[in-house]
A and B are shown apart, each in its own frame.
Chain A
Amino acid sequence: MDATHDVQGLLSVIIPTHDQARNVERLVHAVKQVTPGAEMIIVCAGLQPHADDISVSYVWGAKVIAAESNASSSECRAIGAKHATGSVLLFLDERNGLSQACYKKWIAKVQQGYDVVMCADDFGQAKTKPGSVRYAFSFLNQLLGHRQFGSASLEKAPFILNRKALETIDFRALCIPAVALVKAVKKGLAITCEPIERSARKRLPPSQALAKPKSVLFEEHARAIHMLLQDKNERGAMPDGERHRILAQETGLLHLRSVFYQESDDKEADGWGAKRKERTKRIRKRAQRHKRRPH
């Protein structure tokens, strides 16, 4: 039997999108072909909710949930996770689907016992210089002790969570993916990374409607790091370089030290290498005098 059959029917696919998106229908059909029988949830930012305040409708066989117009993709994912009923939640990007082969690999990871499967990338191997955002992802992974994750992050779809992971980290935490990842690691969830095919990575430019400003993303990472350090100290239990910090509080007069004053010799002036230039000048003049002198 196909390995993926075990989870089909228990699978929820969550796709954040916005009201201006054009490729949602195509994406839904493409995903349905790969994951037949899965619960499809589309969280649409900026979609007008129904008058009776029930913001759920059904289109193309998918549950469509309205979200606020300024909701980010991670906030949309958190809303989708709240409404999902499956035991495995697959979060996709509005731009990209997932091929059959790739999907099978990812689901196989869940069946192996992993609670979280993130998208691996080629951070560190690529010749191009990564952007500052990927450095932030990579830095957090380093601090979490998972250097091998590179710049993988719950900020980037696709990723998979099982029901246990969702309940452990709480769907609200998905609004701030960096915090969700810290929670997942602290709670000891089994996390792995799985690559996706190169062709799926670069189809469409990122949607500005759902994008988070970089400053917000960095701030969220700082919050996540701060949360990570709470169990230790403000330095993350790193050494302090044997600093005598008390000396910074006291005036120098109270320091146990000796003070010496040394007078200077003459200084060279007139630009860099003035002495050398002066010497060269003298030599040239002397040479000219020799030339002029009659033999």
Chain B
Amino acid sequence: MEKWENQGRLSIIVGVEQDEKTVLKVLKQAEKLCPLEIVVVVHGSQDRSLEQVLSYSGSALRIFVYPFALGEDVWRTVGAREATGDVWLFLAAEQIVAAHELQPFVRSCYRGGDIAVRHAACSPVRVKEEQYPVQLAKQFLNSLLNRSELGGASMNDLPFAITREAASSIGAHYFLVPAVAQAIALQKELRVTSIRTRIERLSGKEQRITPERDAQSKLTDLGDHLEAISFLQQPDE
């Protein structure tokens, strides 16, 4: 039944950079959801990712190709502007998540939720040392907005699903800094739920990204959360 609903309402937005090893598998899982459309934003790709996406024939794709890297998470804003469905599911091409693990995010939005984010436990014992400040930042942002029970769940982490109304309430241009988008969502008391999911094959990031770039990415995430805290501290206009 849900597939019929997906066919009429679901837009899947996928960001692709250097993901030739995983992008086809991600599209395959996306296709299994039978969405209304799949919006693919390919940017700054220097490997065979674009070739792979263009050769994919499983599902209707709308592919936006930028010859330069848009920067972290800018593809989310680009994709959100092009999506036409009632519910949008954001996926990273570097991270393969099985279709049946993705459907709960979408289902949550069909059943009255505004945003469905991935559950994340924030335990000082479990989290890796370099990730820890970011996890603390996520936890703090949720607590600051009276949603401590969300723990470290964040729109920073993919996948997440959002309804079109919620997205327009936040403003798609804020999607490029996910922590700010989340801060606005919680400030506006949108219904944010966290979904427990298993991501079995994290084949992308850990293998491809160098430790230096990974550390840089963590600092960017931390900066995003500081930007969100600063945003919340601004006096209301």
Which A positions have Cβ atoms within 8 angstroms of B? 123-125, 127, 129-130, 132, 135-136, 138-139, 142-143, 214-215, 218-219, 221-223, 225-226, 229, 234-236, 238-245, 247-249, 251-252, 255-265, 267-272
Contact = CB atoms under 8 A, between A and B. Distances in A.
Interface in B1-18: 1, 3-4, 7
> Which 5 A-B pairs have CB atoms at the shortest separation, nearest pair first?
A238-B223, A241-B72, A243-B71, A235-B223, A234-B230
Contacts of A135: 122, 136, 139-140, 143
B3 A271 contact: yes
Contacts of A256: 66-68
A221 B61 CA distance: 45
Given A136-B140, A226-B233, A239-B219, 19 more contacts: A123-B124, A135-B139, A135-B140, A225-B229, A236-B226, A238-B219, A241-B220, A247-B77, A247-B78, A248-B173, A256-B67, A259-B65, A260-B61, A260-B62, A261-B63, A262-B54, A262-B57, A265-B57, A267-B59
Nearest to A262: B61
Q: Chain B binding site: helix, strand, loop or mixed by DSSP?
A: helix
B74 A139 contact: no
Interface of B: 1, 3-4, 7, 31-32, 34, 54, 56-74, 77-78, 81-82, 99-100, 122-125, 132-133, 136-137, 139-140, 143-144, 146, 148, 172-173, 176-177, 216-217, 219-220, 222-224, 226-227, 229-233
A244 B71 contact: yes
Contacts of B122: 135
A263 B62 CA distance: 9
A235 B34 contact: no
Contact of B4 (A129, A241, A255, A269): A269
A291 B122 CA distance: 58
